[in-house]
Amino acid sequence: MSLRVSHHLLLCATASKAACCNPDVGKASWARLKEMVKQLDLENVERPEGVVLRSKVDCLRICSDGPIMLIWPDGIWYGGVSAERIEAILREHVIGGQPREGWIIRRTANK
């Protein structure tokens, strides 16, 4: 069975070395991400754009100014992704297609 995926969100929030953010800030950010993905119905397999996957990762090799979120396939890396920033990133970037410029710390391309 194939699953259509619109975005995959990789969040370094509770890294074992806790190098990029305070673990409490990271935990709150991850909890908010789970809550908002559900609330905005982004895991719905009937979603025409595809589902939004989320994964907690141990390190994205930025290691400062976290929590760090990488959004695939856009190659957009956000820094300072506290719980307060999660909803705006989901609504504006993931749903609206407009990345939040001021919070971007890196861009990568796959072509």
Q: Which residues bind ligand FES (CB under 6 A)?
A: 12, 15, 17, 19-20, 59-63, 66, 68
Indicate the residue whose CB is closest to ligand FES. 20
Q: Hey, what amino acid is at 64?
A: S
The tokens for 47 are 């979603």
Which residue lies nearer to ligand FES by CB, 11 or 37?
11
Which residue lies nearer to ligand FES by CB, 20 or 42?
20
Q: Considering only CA atoms, which of 101, 42, 44, 97 is closest in space to residue 74?
A: 97
Say if strands 104-107 and 51-57 run parallel, antiparallel, or are unpaired. Answer: unpaired
Shortest gap between Cβ of 50 and ligand FES (angstroms)? 26
Which residue lies nearer to ligand FES by CB, 51 or 81?
81
Alpha helices in the chain (DSSP H): 23-39, 83-88
Three-class secondary structure of residue 95 per DSSP: helix
Which residue lies nearer to ligand FES by CB, 51 or 68?
68
Shortest gap between Cβ of 96 and ligand FES (angstroms)? 26
Shortest gap between Cβ of 15 and ligand FES (angstroms)? 4
The tokens for 46 are 């009937």
